[in-house]
A and B are shown apart, each in its own frame.
Chain A
Amino acid sequence: EPEVTQTPSHQVTQMGQEVILRCVPISNHLYFYWYRQILGQKVEFLVSFYNNEISEKSEIFDDQFSVERPDGSNFTLKIRSTKLEDSAMYFCASSDSFTANYGYTFGSGTRLTVV
């Protein structure tokens, strides 16, 4: 079964450093997303991406964050100048045109720890 792949599974970084979280969505999917889950809290929407541009973003997704699809297979989330409160699980997801409203496939996540 096709899956969304995320790397690394765990990233530890010093406060103030930049991190790039990587995702390989399912190959025929057109819609890409990043969500995050702070420990013990709910899964929160960060951003959706379609046709090489951001289609929607949340208030969490401020200038500290950026997304990119640098080639035909990867989808990245960059966090500049990380803060302690950025520590969370970050999930990438993708969907096709028929399931974009409900049928995400999530990756297993990257656990980001900011120290």
Chain B
Amino acid sequence: QKEVEQDPGPLSVPEGAIVSLNCTYSNSAFQYFMWYRQYSRKGPELLMYTYSSGNKEDGRFTAQVDKSSKYISLFIRDSQPSDSATYLCAMSAAQKVTFGTGTKLQVIP
């Protein structure tokens, strides 16, 4: 079983839609849960992080962590064409961060 599993997509949605991105993981030691955004040929950019279980909201973005189910989600409200990118879930127990494969999102105007 892979440490972090993420549906690679691609996911195509109309502008204004609510987007749901998800990851599952197997390592119970993970404590920090992150979402990164990566544009083509660029480095990952940290969007949000959550420590342990719970929800966190930042503007149009909401991150959820359910440690009991080993499941994390990122919701994007009122999606915009500029949100088109690859979204990487990531998690860590110490300094090393383990990434999912990324979900490619396209928001169609």
Contacts and interface: CB of A to CB of B under 8 A. Distances in A.
Interface stretch (A12-20, A72-80, A95-103): A95-103
Contacts, number: 60
Interface stretch (B12-20, B67-75, B76-84, B98-106): B98-106
Q: Is the contact region of chain A dominated by helix, strand, or loop, or is it mixed?
A: strand
Contact of B49 (A33, A103, A108): A103
Contacts of A100: 95
Interface residues of B, number: 23
Interface in A68-115: 89, 91, 93, 100-109, 111
B101 A48 contact: no
Interface string A44-70: 110010100001101000000000000
Contact of A106 (B41, B45, B92, B98): B45
Interface centre among B31, B90, B95, B102 (most CB of A within 10 A): B95
Nearest to B46: A103
Contact of B97 (A41, A104, A105): A104
A42 B95 contact: no
A105 B100 CA distance: 18
Interface of A: 4, 31, 33, 41-45, 48, 50, 55-56, 58, 89, 91, 93, 100-109, 111
